[in-house]
């Protein structure tokens, strides 16, 4: 059960975060892949870029953006897309993802993943932008479902139905964040399993896992602490539908040592098989190093 784009199952990865740079470079932990936040590496030529180059030389890397504003109504920023494309080529990114949202309008960037109404009008608008981005990047765009805290009265379809239609209309892939599905399901009162079942399994390219915080009146997607049991159950359900897909653990607040994040990520192996890796043929050391 592969995805329809023939993209590889990269195994179980961890988000590349500044606090772990030193550890990753010096210890070269046995991680299947890393995901880098695209914008953190676009306009810097210093240490962050150097680190990403080193990581990309050792591990498979995927790029995950937060500023494409695919649901926005400002024109697409072609200069930004050109930089994303160049960075993806530089680090041999297996794919490039962003979020189904808008981040700002009228030239501003709020740097938040803001929700959009799920209407026919929005669907046509976003699908056309996704196709344009895929043309520019010369690869299918992969889109993540963000967590959300409000719903528009004007929406005429659920997020799951919108996403399912968008994936087909725009011929793009999905980064399925099961924690976001859970957070939104509690905040909006829908069945998270029905959400997962509404998605075309062959469009799912990657999974995101993370922890959230219960604020009493709503859940907040904080990427802090460990992922909750109910969300692991959702992941188990999803991965049974799609088959093994690249799975990445995000931890962005009160980030513990790398080993703790990696251990949490590896819990995914309870629900999916480990990555089959080609083992190098044993060779004399002097030749292997030559």
Binding site for other proteins (CB under 8 A): 39-40, 42-47, 49-50, 67-68, 72-73, 77, 80, 102, 104-112, 114, 116-117, 119, 121-122, 125, 149-154, 187-189, 216-218, 220
Dihedral, CA atoms, 33, 178, 201, 238, nearest 10 degrees?
A: 100
Give the closest residue to 32 by CA, choosing from 15, 20, 7, 45.
15
Nearer to other proteins among residue 153 and residue 277 (C-beta):
153
Q: Which two tokens stand for residue 134?
A: 């895929």
**H or E segment and range at residue 89:** helix 78-90
Shortest gap between Cβ of 116 and other proteins (angstroms)?
7
Nearer to other proteins among residue 129 and residue 139 (C-beta):
129
Nearer to other proteins among residue 75 and residue 290 (C-beta):
75
Q: Residue 40, exposed/middle/buried by CB under 10 A (0-12, 13-18, 19+)?
A: middle
| DSSP track, 24-37 | HHHH----S-EEEE
Nearer to other proteins among residue 4 and residue 49 (C-beta):
49
**What Rg do the C-alpha atoms of the chain give, in angstroms?**
19
Give the closest residue to 14 by CA, choosing from 203, 182, 208.
208
Nearer to other proteins among residue 82 and residue 257 (C-beta):
82
């Amino acid at each position: 059960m592969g995805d329809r784009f023939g993209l590889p199952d990269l195994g179980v990865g961890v988000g590349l975060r500044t606090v772990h740079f030193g550890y990753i470079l010096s210890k070269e932990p046995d991680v299947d892949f890393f995901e880098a936040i695209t914008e953190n590496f676009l306009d810097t030529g210093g240490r962050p870029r150097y680190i990403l180059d080193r990581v990309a030389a050792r591990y498979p890397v995927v790029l995950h953006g937060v500023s494409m504003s695919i649901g926005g109504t400002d024109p697409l920023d072609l200069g930004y897309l050109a930089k994303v494309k160049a960075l993806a080529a530089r680090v041999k990114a297996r794919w490039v993802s962003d979020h189904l949202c808008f981040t700002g309008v009228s030239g501003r960037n709020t740097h938040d993943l803001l929700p959009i109404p799920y209407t026919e009008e929005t669907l046509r608008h976003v699908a056309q932008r996704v196709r344009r981005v895929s043309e520019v990047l010369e690869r299918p765009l992969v889109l993540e479902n963000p967590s959300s805290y409000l719903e528009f009265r004007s929406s005429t379809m659920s997020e799951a139905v919108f996403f399912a239609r968008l994936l087909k209309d725009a011929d793009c892939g999905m980064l399925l964040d099961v924690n976001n599905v859970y957070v939104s399901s509690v905040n909006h009162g829908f069945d998270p399993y029905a959400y997962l079942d509404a998605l075309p399994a062959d469009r799912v390219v990657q999974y995101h896992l993370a922890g959230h915080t219960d604020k009493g009146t709503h859940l907040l997607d904080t990427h802090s602490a460990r992922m909750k049991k109910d969300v692991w159950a959702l992941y188990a359900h999803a991965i049974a539908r799609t088959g093994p897909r690249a799975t990445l653990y995000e931890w962005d607040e009160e980030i513990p040592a790398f080993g703790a994040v990696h251990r949490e990520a590896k819990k995914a192996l309870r629900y999916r098989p480990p990555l089959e890796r080609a083992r190098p043929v044993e060779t004399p050391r002097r030749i292997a190093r030559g």
